[in-house]
Amino acid sequence: MNRLLKTVVALALVPTSFSCFADDALIRKAVNTMFNTQDAVREITKLPYGDLHEVVLTDGQVLYMDGRGKYLIQGSLIDVDKRLDVTEKRESDRARLNFADLPLNQAIKQVRGNGKRVLVTFEDVNCGYCKKLAADLKNLKDATIYTFMIAILAADSEVKAKNIWCAADRAKAWNDWMVEGNEPPAAKCDDPIRKNLELANKYRIRGTPAIYLSDGTRAGGGYISLDKIDAALNRVEAAAKK
């Protein structure tokens, strides 16, 4: 076993007299000092392993620290008995969308057929695979598609996204650009593009397209073909009926 891991595991078994609040304050101070900033930590969670705490940084990175803020470990935490990568499981749970809380008014809405199946995507207007996805989704049947435009790939991504959002017909402007290659004309209005990026950061979305289903799960790690999207939508719909 790695020497650092042994040290952290040993520390996790040592009882502590500090309250959870005190632990959080000590950990936050230690991590901020380590990274020379005042806001390095997004959240701290006490784990059911002695004195071990999960520390999520503002950039989404996960670390582990003892309650006194003295020892830190980077890497995956493994539950040996369950043969479970705890870090991977926690990251997956954290990345799951809380669908009911999504600000759908910040997304471009497209309805196909009866619209009963629901798909959510996060996309950049300059993303090649997003353009391929947009062409595919024109053939998706009986679904409502919510597209959150985020600007992460190019200097003009935000400008193009704003122009699409401010168009008289957003869905048409989106497909005109993404599928047909017709750049949207300049337009101004209140737009949600930067708020969308904050939302994407909340769910640790680092690349596009990011495709989610109505149960909050992510459908694949990036672009997936239309037949796989269709199958995933059917699967979620069937599960909801049980």
Domain boundaries, the chain: 3-95, 99-241
Q: Which of 17, 78, 25 is nearest to 47 (CA)?
A: 78
Q: How far is CA 113 from the centre of its chain?
A: 28
Cβ contact 63:72 at 8 Å: yes
Structure tokens at 52: 């071990």
Q: Which residues contact 195 (CB under 8 A, 6 or more apart)?
A: 103, 106
Cβ contact 54:45 at 8 Å: yes
| Low-confidence stretches of the chain (pLDDT beneath 70) | 1-22, 92
DSSP code of 68? Answer: T
Residue 90's pLDDT is 78
Distance CA(159)–CA(157), nearest Å, equals 6
Residue 62's pLDDT is 87
How crowded is residue 21: how many other Cβ atoms within 10 Å of its Cβ?
8
Residue 3's pLDDT is 43
The three-class DSSP label of residue 202 is helix
Residue 21's pLDDT is 59
Instruction: Give residue 57's identity as a one-letter amino acid code.
Output: L
3: phi then psi, degrees, rounded to nearest 5: -60, -40
Q: Do domains 3-95 and 99-241 have the same CATH topology?
A: no
Class of domain 3-95: alpha beta
Residue 235's pLDDT is 93
Structure tokens at 35: 């990274």
15 cis-preceded (ω within 30 degrees of 0): no
Distance CA(128)–CA(208), nearest Å, equals 9
The three-class DSSP label of residue 64 is strand
| Rounded (5°) CA angle 45-49-54 | 25
Distance CA(51)–CA(53), nearest Å, equals 7
DSSP H/E element including 5 = helix 3-12
Residue 1's pLDDT is 44
Q: Left (φ > 0), alpha (ψ -120 to 50) or beta: where does 142 sit? A: left
Provide the CATH topology of domain 99-241.
Answer: Glutaredoxin (3.40.30)
